Amino acid sequence: KMEMKIKNLHAAGIDVGSKSHFVAVGQGDDEIKEFGVSHSSHQEIICYLRYFGIETVAMESTGNYWQCLSLALTQAGFKVLLVPGTQTKAFRKTDVKDARQLQLLHSLGGLSSCYIPDEFTSKVRELARHRKSMIQECSKHINKMQKCLRLMNIRLDVVLSDVVGVSGLKIIQAILQGERDPHKLAALANRRVRKTKEQIADALVGNFSQEHLYELKDCFEIYEFIQTKIQDVDNELSRYYTEYQGEIQTNEEVQLAKKQLKGKNQPKFSVQQIAYKMYGVDISAINGVSVNTILTFMSEVGTSIYKFPDAKSFTSWLCLCPNNKISGGKKLSGRTPKGKNTLALALRDAANVIGNQKQGYLSSFFKKIGLKKGRFTAITATARKLAVIIYNMITKKEEYSEQKNEMYRNNLREKQLAKAIKMLKNNNFQVVDFEGVVV
């Protein structure tokens, strides 16, 4: 027999299920018990764990079935360890064996926990994700409205860049109210539209079939209803942050970066001011980071960013750093692991915007990686750099500065010069240094 040191003496393991939970307080058959999933069953689990003197509990992150039980255990004073599926996928898949294996490994200290945000961040995250799902639902109905207009040969999408913009909504609403004259419909377009009134009127001549008009009306009403609900969610988020932080006010001396605040999907409350009061730094000063990216960061991480000991742990949680596999002293693979982290997706979107910019330190970095390994790899690398910058800004209270841009260009120029000189020397060329030569 091999002796191993027990690190967590009073530990339990819980296999979480949709209809029942199996709780193991030891390795014996009489130390594993099945409970239900109701509130009364949660109280029975708490009493059962207290009877055996349990202090810490490891449970598997199965769907969203673990959340209510985890909250009840945390409020009861237990230390909860949420184990990701990557650590339990090798278990023999029976409920009793899973619970026993979780208890054993947790007792020996062989399990690591997932990131669990604090209570306030969990509430805000739920609302922010609900807001994002409604925006996605709006996009579906916008596509259906475009389809209905296209089938009636009303090519509003050709003459307008945004079908549900100011001009597009006015024209669609007039069509639903019975207007059929293309010139009167074209007159509703805003003067900033680049197409002429004659071109717009020509695109609005179509066959107004009843079935497509009915579908268009339904989609338009659903779209407007969801837009009002998004506004309600924004008001609720603003209320949450106001109750958490107090009245949101910044000093007149503090000048936050100017960001695009107009648009259908932009939050209708002061996200930049809330983020500055929460973290003490202006995250919006980073090029490519929009207000929506800041809102995603606040809702997914919040003030729990200090749970990560360093930037490497933070980027590893985001699945933005290479997963190096080394065997026999050789690197077998370095692919970035797959993941559906909401914040990582937002940072990738910000990195894609940075790739389209012409100036800036991050844009230079993006183009350097893109030339070597392609745009997709450059998006991942830039998203990781954004995560490191944001982490250092918040934890070290450092403001973002674009002065690194010139320093980065100089370093890159020196490396390119050194590489060119080395290549010339390897090919037996004589390299002579001249003063005042601009390379």
Q: Would the pLDDT of 61 be above 80?
A: no
- The encoded tokens of residue 47 equal 């009493």
**6: confidence class by pLDDT, cuts 50, 70, 90:** confident
Do 35 and 45 touch, CB atoms closer than 8 A?
yes
Query: What would the mean pLDDT of 77-105 be, rounded to a whole number?
Result: 82
Give dist(CA 111, CA 103) in Å, integer.
Answer: 10
pTM for this predicted structure: 0.81
Q: Specify the pLDDT at position 141.
A: 94
What string of DSSP letters covers 8-52? -SSEEEEE--SS-EEEESSSSGGGEEEE-SSHHHHHHHHHHHHHT
Percent of the chain whose predicted confidence (pLDDT) is above 90: 41
Strands 325-327 and 11-15: unpaired
Alpha helix segments (H runs only) across 160-301: 166-176, 182-186, 197-203, 210-245, 271-279, 291-300
Tell me the pLDDT tens digit for each residue of 164-213.
Answer: 989 999 999 999 999 999 999 999 998 888 899 999 999 999 888 999 99
**67: confidence class by pLDDT, cuts 50, 70, 90:** confident
Give dist(CA 189, CA 172) in Å, integer.
Answer: 11
Tell me the pLDDT tens digit for each residue of 208-256.
Answer: 899 999 999 999 999 999 999 999 999 999 998 888 876 555 555 567 8
User: What is the residue type of 231?
Assistant: Q
**28: confidence class by pLDDT, cuts 50, 70, 90:** confident
- The encoded tokens of residue 289 equal 């980071």
Give dist(CA 129, CA 258) in Å, integer.
Answer: 25
Give dist(CA 413, CA 351) in Å, integer.
Answer: 23
- What Å distances lie between residue 52 and 15, 82, 119, CA to CA? 18, 21, 28
Tally Cβ neighbours within 10 Å of residue 380.
Answer: 21
Which residues sit opposite 11 in a β-bridge?
56
Give dist(CA 172, CA 166) in Å, integer.
Answer: 10
- What Å distances lie between residue 432 and 39, 108, 330, 428, 436, CA to CA? 81, 64, 39, 13, 13
When the pLDDT of each residue in the chain is averaged and rounded to a whole number, the result is 86
**378: confidence class by pLDDT, cuts 50, 70, 90:** very high
Tell me the pLDDT tens digit for each residue of 399-423.
Answer: 887 666 567 667 777 887 888 888 8
Q: Would the pLDDT of 436 be above 50?
A: no
Q: Specify the pLDDT at position 247.
A: 57
Tell me the pLDDT tens digit for each residue of 103-157.
Answer: 888 888 888 888 888 888 888 999 999 999 999 999 999 999 999 999 999 999 8
- The encoded tokens of residue 12 equal 């339990």
Tally Cβ neighbours within 10 Å of residue 439.
Answer: 8
